[in-house]
Amino acid sequence: MLELRDVQVIFDGFRALDGVDLTVPEGELRFLIGPNGAGKTTLIDVITGLTRPAAGSVRFGGADLVGRKEHEIVRMGVGRTFQTSVVFEALTVIENLDLAATFRKPLWSLTRRRDGVSEAVEEALARTGLEELAERSAGVLSHGQRQWLEIGMLLAQRPKLLLLDEPVAGMSKDERERTGELLTEIADDHTVIVVEHDMDFLRRHASVVTVLHEGKVLVEGSVDEVSADPRVQEVYLGRRAGDAVGNRP
């Protein structure tokens, strides 16, 4: 599904990604962790065409993504969330979903008034559990509901691969739990890459974890393998003391 080989990204001489190899098979829910500045967001930027790598290849379903425009990559079935929100607060939940769904459509179809709601929007609404809030303005949503709406907006575009950058940041415990379940459900029929650092969350919802550090893949494996790895412990020690990897009781 997704294959990165020796990907390098250099910003003013600084190697944000320094030879990243990453393979994510179809239908996998892959977690990406690593300290601040490790290159996690840059990796997503490279896959989605926002940042062009200085070297290396990015293949998706056999096609080379390097050099393609962002919208072209979206049309190929790659969807992402940003760390900042893209929800229109003045629009309702369903209008936001509808807008997202039309994003992948050819321009001519936008000029025609469609009656009712598309199947993709219905599905996104049901998946994210936002049916009851469909007609509410997005501005009144809780932080968690808003994050689900953003995920719904991606789903409405019918992507094959979803890239989610810290989707549970700032969520309550219950919201995190629901999001974990949602991610697992989505991975039933999508490939999903999630950036998240919270080890409790990973232990509950992750199977395969890739650890990024200073622009390189440090370790890859199960949550237990990764958190027991001395290299990972060293990278996290003193950085995020509260939830340092490997701090299992």
Ligand X SMILES: Nc1ncnc2c1ncn2[C@@H]1O[C@H](COP(=O)(O)OP(=O)(O)O)[C@@H](O)[C@H]1O
Indicate whether 42 belongs to the interface with Mg ion (CB under 5 A).
Answer: no
By beta-carbon proximity to ligand X, the closer residue of 37 and 170 is 37
Q: How far is the CB of 48 from ligand X (least distance, A)?
A: 13
Q: How far is the CB of 199 from ligand X (least distance, A)?
A: 16
Cβ-contact 189, 162 below 8 angstroms = no
Cβ-contact 211, 219 below 8 angstroms = yes
By beta-carbon proximity to ligand X, the closer residue of 3 and 214 is 214
Residues interacting with ligand X, by CB under 6 A? 11, 16, 34, 36-42
Indicate whether 41 belongs to the interface with Mg ion (CB under 5 A).
Answer: yes
By beta-carbon proximity to Mg ion, the closer residue of 7 and 141 is 7
Contacts for 123-131: CB closer than 8 Å, 24+ residues apart: 123/155, 123/156, 124/97, 124/100, 124/152, 124/153, 124/155, 124/156, 125/93, 125/94, 125/97, 125/152, 127/152, 127/155, 127/182, 127/185, 127/186, 128/152, 128/155, 128/182, 129/178, 129/182, 130/93
By beta-carbon proximity to Mg ion, the closer residue of 82 and 88 is 82
Q: Which stretch binds Mg ion (CB under 5 A): 33-41, 87-95, 206-214, 221-229?
A: 33-41
Q: Which residues bind Mg ion (CB under 5 A)?
A: 40-41
